[in-house]
Structure 1
Amino acid sequence: MHLHIAWRLLALLICCSSAAAFSPSPIAPPTSSSAWRSDQLQRRAALERLFGPTRVRRSDHATALASQAVLYHVLNRKRPQYDPNELPEHPTLPFLSSVPELWEVLASQYGERTLLVDPYHEPPTNLTFTQTRDMVNNLAGALQQLGLDKGDKVMLLAEDSHRWLVASQAIMKAGGASVPRGLTSPPDEQKYVFEHSDSVGLVAETAEDAKALLGRLGAGGALERLKFIVVLEGSGYLMAGMTPAYQFDKLANTRSPSFDPPSVSPEDIATIMYTSGTAGIPKGVMLTHGNLLHQIYAITVDDHNRTPPYLTKRRGWRALFRRGPRSDNPRSGEILLSILPPWHIYSKALQLWMLARGVEMHYTDRRHFVEDLVRVRPHHMALVPRLIQAIQQSVERKLNESKGIKRRLIKALRWASTEPPPTYLRSGSEADEEPTGSARSVVLVWKAFLRLLAYPLLWNKLRRRLAPRLRIVTSGGAALSLQTEDTARLLGFPLVQGYGLTETSPVVVVGSLKTRRRGAIGPIVACTEMRAVDERGVEVPTGEIGRVQFRGPQVMHGYYQDEPATKRAIDDGGFLDTGDLGRILPDGSLLFVGRAKDTIVLSNGKNVYAEDIEKQCLTSPLVEQILLSGQDEKFLGALVVPNVEGLEADDLITPDEGDRIRLMREQRDAEGLRQMAMDLQSRPAFNEVMMQHLNADDARPDHERVKSFRVVLEPFTVDNLQLTPTFKTKRHVISEQYASLLDEMYSTTGTDHLLLPSASIDRHHTAATHDTHHHTADTADDQSEAEAGNVVAEPAVVQSSRAAWNSIA
């Protein structure tokens, strides 16, 4: 009780001493009770303008003001830096000055408990917390003896494994900075990263990978500064004339008595992460130890607005049964199934966040992912939307295999489980096409009854098969479609979306398990400020689209050897311009719209947010991947990779044709896929149904509707360089590879390109003529295109498509 009162008095004292920080202008001392009340309201209003509504009990108001005053001082600085005194308290960790200090603390807390399980690298390995700590120290000492000095860079060219984690932490422990890159990255990109980063060491997966990179470097400065090579797997010897390579296992399992750990501060560079390069040459993002430590302390999936447990009052006998709200964050002893590449900052930060809480990590890969999902029964997974969509498609494929009454029942249960998009996601003001009056009541009652049956008969069974213990699934790296989010929710996956960039270490926004909103990501993490601005840099009102900017301790140190790019990215006030468009909702959640550079400007001057429309199109069961086009053109077009299972379910292709497409994809038969794509494009029924699915959202204005598309049966993948390692679409690469097909789509004589069904054109044109926001000249152009499009010359389309495909081949 006395401690409780002392804490209150201390908080009130801090609050009073920080009064100047609570309002934009000095406040005179109150002279009466009414003046005192006005003074408090003015201070609270100033706080809410900065941080949003303060949802705490009045008795806890002084404590909340004190903590928010500290946060205000953090945000008021131009370039906030990592300061342990300004971060949320961690449940198990003391405040650290560098990332490698984490392993000493974890080893003392968890000792001989299992930390890493790696079954797919030879030999299969289980490491405890103590063993991991010892291997990090041993390898750090060996690297120091091989010549690694504080501040040196070491390229880490390998895929995910326990050896990768130990090597990365050992480089930091020795005072160096790791420069990770994956084996699937293009060879020229690997060469550029090694040379540009000034790396003095190389840690490679195998000796062959090291040889390949060194052979591309040739004679010159890059080879002359190379001090050592460490090979993670296999033999450690290279051919004559090259720098000798050392075997990882020998170095990591041999204690180095002469190791002298250098002093590492939060401002020292921990890693240089090269951007995945959706456009242009990759840039080296310098992240400090303070940047990464901020993620460990600040990320939470708890309700951001609830009262902290230590402020919860417990009086009398109720204290025996009420222990305060339980945290939804990872807990010691739970299992993380790791599948994402660690050379992407999203995976790296999430791993550190979970391992810092005592979580046991199991490694898997794409071949064994589904098998391990059932065998390991994880509590946590960090995924990208593409992997979540793969799980969704496998579930849909299983459901579509049902026959007869069972299939009709499943279809009815899935229909009852669907929900319309929330109002803040709708792109227009038109009401949903739903029954009215008594018919609407009957539909709602029937839907509610089926929904009660859907969970025990369908979704719970699927969840028990897939992942019965799953507690947190974090999604990041790309935007998540509403359909994929809803499917994950129905399966019982506790899905949490995060948002960030490599330049923000990466997490700046993360959702809560208790208060997540459909389609939105969530609020900002601790010690972070978010705003949306227009082209002039002026902050836009809440709910309007603007360029999203952030400021906080997780913002990068800068781009390596590129000061001009750093100044363009970070303004004088310390705000990082993400280049993304978004809406900040009234509750502080971020609604991602798309990349500013991905905005398509049609020839009539109208803007189209491509990624927003692509997310809507991806909700169709017929669309697996899509890329919109139309820059400086009269209409919006698309390259569509159809979902083979969806086409079979809608009887648009036969099962034999579906098997042929899957076989050709496995065999990478590009010519066969081209011929099949032209065959599909020649079918009027296919074109009509596909166009209806691409324009299913009746609320979209006419200029945001897809007027033409071309079929691409070869999926966009990382291997063909059309996707980044985190499955983001490389628009410029795909546009270049399919330039002939796109040119043919827009240059077709007459209006052969308009494949929109006549009924849909008439309906949407009629709606557009009643829209007072449309210009008369534009509407007339659209009407002439629509009328001409009612008669589609299919043979001309197929003939021109064939010529375009031949030019691509």
Structure 2
Amino acid sequence: MLKTSVENSFLANISERERQIIKRLPDYSNVESLPEIWPLAAQKFGNTVALRDPHAQSEVVLTYTQLSQQIQQFAAGLQALGVKAGDRISLISDNSPRWFIADQGMMTAGAVNAVRSSQAEREELLYILANSGSTTLVVEDLKTFQKLRERLEDLPIQLVILLSDEAPPEAETLKVYSFPQLMEIGAQHTLEPVQQTRNQLATLIYTSGTTGKPKGVMLSHGNLLHQVTTLGAIVQPQPGDMVLSILPTWHSYERSAEYFLLSLGCTQVYTNLRSIKQDLKKFKPHYIIAVPRLLESIYEGVQKQFREQPASRQRLINFFFGISEKYIKLRRTVEDLDLLHLNPSFAERLAAVMQAAALEPLHLLGERLVYKKVKEATGGRIKQMISGGGALPKHIDDFFEIIGVEILVGYGLTETSPVTHARRYWRNLRGSAGQPIPATEVKIVNPETRQPLPTGERGLVLLKGPQIMQGYYQNPEATAKAIDPEGWFDSGDLGWVTPQNDLILTGRAKDTIVLTNGENIEPQPIEDACVRSPYIDQIMLVGQDQKSLGALIVPNLEALEKWAESQNLQLCIEDKIVTSGTSQTINLESKIIQDLFRQELNREVQNRPGYRPDDRIGPFKLILEPFSVENGMMTQKLSIKRHVVMEHYRDIINGMFA
């Protein structure tokens, strides 16, 4: 009873703490639509720089006053050219201040935008244009327009806006305007205010579908405003704080983070993979919105520098990191933040306090001699890095904790706008996805029966809150599968919650694989392509929270034996000779077999319609036991039970990515 009382008190204190934190931030609770924020932000932050792009052809610097004015000008230009409230507009572009102006200009005019990268495959973009019913197309540049041009006649597109300064093509049957031309038109027209409510649709973000066709996630103004008004419980930026922006701005994660940070008067600096190392030192950011892959690349860069040091220096560095790793683990025990050993006894905490005190002088010495210089490579002013879009590897979490850079991991999906959970700086439980953000509920249920499970038991993660999407656009069947009648959204993730309500994710129940760069991959279409190879009988893709896809492959032994005979090879399987070749004896691990399967995978994956570089399969393992109903790895409908296979081959999969 005492334990339960303490836990409830702890949760109540956190709730009150967050309530007090949010009270100190600018109040947007009475705002009904996202674009209403920017005139208010202009009043509050005026001449503070909002957006800065040092890598544009000519550097762009916009204050909050200028940003608000340009958003309204863009909206007025759209209205003058016939765009009406409720119209669909496809925004096909990548990171730039003009993307943000266009995005919020469309919403200010009352339109709904469908967003995607200009680098996406043409067929995918054309599907989005058609499915969304867009009548206006806003593209990054002339090159993007020309990529789509020949098929636009089949779509209801009436107006095209280039976000570049390029002159529109001559003798063009469509109405095409450059960004400066649209802004000039907007300057000459008065913006007609559009009354909007929180329930109105704001944007469509297309995410992967199981058939390969993307699904349009319907996010309302209320969904997005929930993120703006509650993420202050996680981080509390100050006006003028510097934020580096590197993730795709059309992803729900980066997008909601930008809305939130800019609503509080931060200065957003656009960077890219080529420039981030220099920009960290030049702009000294206070915050970075990151995916695990970005943090891994920073880590790998540091490790490369360590390896270039003299051997004696390397030994010293390794000594300090070894000491500090022990120190941070003891400190976690003291603070009850050790996921592997929650709720330590008084005696265990006392022992950890004493051991940590003994190691602290060496940890502080390591900080002075080693970690401080590493921290300076990030600019030296980082308050927090926010990581999402996939699980953060343990060694990355440990590394940044050792050097004194705080990482707060968040969790969510495009369908949840996206944040539902996040680690707080006062409860940074490494290995967890954090506690629910305000007004958000989580329920763990049995994946088969959907009955709630007790605290600590693993099951399917269901989510509920104001950030849950309205549904999938023009896809009521998929919507009904994702959201039950009581409003619980099926995340497709497996996990459990601690007594303090921290969410611990343990795997996927649904098929989608999320790589460390944040990309969502639907495995079924790729697997379907791979089994066209005569040598592949069955295949299951893996790679959740990895840099690339991997695969478990059940080879077609009959076809493989025929191939070996044609090559005059003696093939040995499970210590049994199955062909009578004389030139060489090989088995499934032999390079010649591995090269054959590598060639087959590359060909079939790359020949698949809609191929993307992220579809490429990296490591793979040949296994002899087929997936079947009898061994529990397939359903009665002969679908692979992915979570069962993952559990059965866990060690092999971990070894593939080691």
Q: Which letter does structure 2 place at the counterpart of 1:375?
A: K
Please tell me whether residue 593 in structure 1 is matched to residue 506 in structure 2: yes
Describe the shift of the 1:393–1:243 C-alpha distance in structure 2 as closer, same or farther (beyond 3 A). Answer: same
Give the AA of the match of 1:55.
F
Aligned position for 1:250 = 181
> 2:366 is matched with which residue: 429, 454, 479?
454
Does residue 96 of structure 1 match 2:9? no
Q: Percent identity?
A: 30
Counterparts in 2 of 1:331-370, with a 5 A limit? 331-370=238-277
Distance 1:301 1:279, change over 3 A: farther
- Tell me what 2:550 maps to: 627
> Where in structure 1 do 4 or more consecutive aligned residues deviate above 4 Å?
87-90, 276-279, 419-427, 442-450, 630-633, 708-713, 719-722
Residues 551-560 or 490-499, more deviating = 490-499
Distance 1:277 1:473, change over 3 A: farther
Structure 1's 334 and 710: CA in aligned 2 closer, same or farther, altered over 3 A? farther
2:77–2:189 Cα contact (<8 Å) kept:
no
SS class of match (1:300): helix
1:621-770 superposed matches below 5 A = 627=550, 629=552, 733-734=615-616, 745-746=622-623
Contact kept, 8 Å, 2:385 with 2:408, in 1: the verdict is yes
Q: What SS does the aligned partner of 1:54 have?
A: helix
Q: Output one character per residue of 1:313-359: Cα deviation in whole Å (capped at 9) or x when no partner.
A: xxxxxxxxxxxxxxx51111111111111110000000011111110
Q: Which amino acid aligns with 1:205?
A: E
Kindly state the Cα deviation for residue 479 of structure 1 after the two structures are TM-superposed: 1.2
Equivalences for residues 497-512 of structure 1 within 5 A: 497-512=409-424
SS in 1 for 2:454: coil
Label 1:457 to 1:682 Cα distance change in 2 as closer, same or farther (>3 A): farther
- Following superposition, the deviation at residue 632 of structure 1 comes to 12
1:472 and 1:599, CA in 2 relative to 1: closer, same or farther beyond 3 A?
closer
Give the match for residue 384 of structure 2: 472
Query: What residue in structure 2 maps to residue 774 of structure 1?
Result: none
Q: Give the conservation status (yes or no) of the 8 Å contact 2:421–2:433.
A: yes
Aligned to 1:199: 134
Q: CA deviation at 1:289?
A: 0.4
User: CA offsets, 1:138-176, max 9 Å, x none?
Assistant: 110110111111111111111100000000000000000
Q: Distance in 2 between matches of 1:595 and 1:710?
A: 31
Q: Counterpart amino acid of 1:494?
A: E
Partner of 1:109: 44
Measured at CA, do residues 682 and 64 of structure 1 come closer, stay the same or move farther in structure 2, by a change above 3 Å?
closer
How do residues 55-134 of structure 1 correspond to structure 2 at under 5 angstroms? 55=10, 89=23, 91-94=25-28, 95-134=30-69
SS of 1:53's partner is helix
Tell me if 1:486 matches 2:380. Answer: no
Deviation at 1:283, TM superposition (A): 0.3
CA contact 1:136–1:252 (8 Å) conserved in 2: no
The 1:244–1:371 alpha-carbon spacing in structure 2 relative to 1, beyond 3 Å, is same
Contact 1:93 1:105 in 2 (8 A): no
The CA distance in 2 between the partners of 1:424 and 1:287, in whole Å, is 36
Letter in 1 for 2:377: R
Structure 1 position 625, deviation (Å): 5.2
Instruction: Give 1 or 2: higher strand fraction.
Output: 2
Paired residue type of 2:161: V
From 53, 72, 96, give the equivalent of 2:8.
53
User: Which of 128, 137, 143 is the matching residue for 2:78?
Assistant: 143
Alignment correspondent of 2:207:
275
Instruction: State whether structure 2 residue 466 is matched by structure 1 residue 553.
Output: yes
Measured against aligned partners, the alpha-carbon deviations of 1:727-763 in whole angstroms (never above 9, x if no partner) come to 9x96xx446x98xx65xx2359xxxxxxxxxxxxxxx
Give the match's secondary structure for 1:583: strand
Match of 1:32 in 2: none
Give me the whole-angstrom Cα distance separating, in 2, the residues matched to 1:456 and 1:550.
44
1: distance between equivalents of 2:168 and 2:555? 56
Unaligned stretches of 5+ residues in structure 1? 1-40, 69-86, 303-327, 428-439, 601-608, 619-623, 634-677, 684-707, 749-780, 787-809
Q: What is the count of residue pairs matched by the alignment?
A: 543
Structure 2 residue aligned with 1:541:
454
Label 1:528 to 1:631 Cα distance change in 2 as closer, same or farther (>3 A).
farther
- In structure 2, stretches of 5+ residues that fail to align are 342-351, 514-539, 557-585, 626-647, 653-658
Distance 1:338 1:721, change over 3 A: farther
Shift of 1:448: 6.0
Residue 566 (structure 1) aligned with residue 479 (structure 2): yes
Provide the residue aligned with 1:637 in structure 2: none
1:162-241 map, 5 Å? 162-217=97-152, 219-220=153-154, 222=155, 225-241=156-172
Q: Distance in 2 between matches of 1:450 and 1:627?
A: 41
Shift of 1:721: 11
Q: Which structure has the greater CA radius of gyration?
A: 1
User: RMSD value over aligned CA atoms?
Assistant: 4.2
Partner letter of residue 329 of structure 1?
Q
1:160 corresponds to which of 85, 95, 98: 95
Report the CA distance shift for 1:466/1:55 in structure 2 as closer, same or farther (over 3 A).
closer
1:474, 1:498 within 8 Å by CA — same for their partners in 2? yes
Distance 1:333 1:56 in 2: 32
Q: How far, CA to CA, are the matches of 2:42 and 2:98 in structure 1?
A: 18
1:675 aligns with none
Aligned partner of 2:229 in structure 1 is 297
CA positional deviation for 1:443: 11
CA distance in 2, matches of 1:448, 1:472: 23
Matched with 2:534 is none
Q: Whole-Å Cα distance in 1 between the matches of residues 420 and 169 of structure 2?
A: 43
- Partner amino acid for 1:262? V
Distance 1:452 1:118, change over 3 A: closer
Aligned amino acid, residue 210 of structure 1: F
Q: Does the aligned pair in 2 maintain the 1:193–1:274 contact within 8 Å?
A: yes
- Matched to 2:442, the amino acid is M
Q: Do 1:236 and 1:245's aligned partners in 2 also have CA atoms closer than 8 Å?
A: no
Per-residue deviation at 1:56?
8.5
CA distance in 2, matches of 1:734, 1:400: 30
Deviation, structure 1 residue 585: 1.2
User: Take 1:734 and 1:252, find their aligned partners in 2: how far apart are those partners?
Assistant: 42
Per-residue CA deviations over 1:567-596 (Å, capped at 9, x if unaligned) read 110001100001011111111111111211
Q: Is the 8 A contact 2:549 2:616 kept in 1?
A: no
1:514 to 405, 408, 426: 426
Structure 2: distance between partners of 1:443 and 1:632: 53
Task: Output the TM-score relative to the length of structure 2.
Answer: 0.74
Deviation per CA, 1:268-311: give whole Å up to 9, x if none. 11100001458732100010000000001111355xxxxxxxxx
The yes-or-no answer on 1:264 pairing with 2:219 is no
Cα separation, 2, equivalents of 1:599 and 1:569:
14
Structure 2: distance between partners of 1:499 and 1:558: 19
- How far did 1:251 drift? 2.3
Report the secondary structure of 2:623's partner residue: helix
CA deviation vs aligned residue, 1:185-227 (integer Å, no higher than 9, x gap): 122111111111101111111122112112244x42x1xx212
Structure 2 Cα separation of the partners of residues 709 and 449 of structure 1: 52
Q: Equivalent residue for 1:643?
A: none
**Structure 1's 381 and 279: CA in aligned 2 closer, same or farther, altered over 3 A?**
farther
| 1:376-391 equivalence runs, <5 A | 376-391=283-298
Displacement of 1:454 after TM fit?
Answer: 1.9
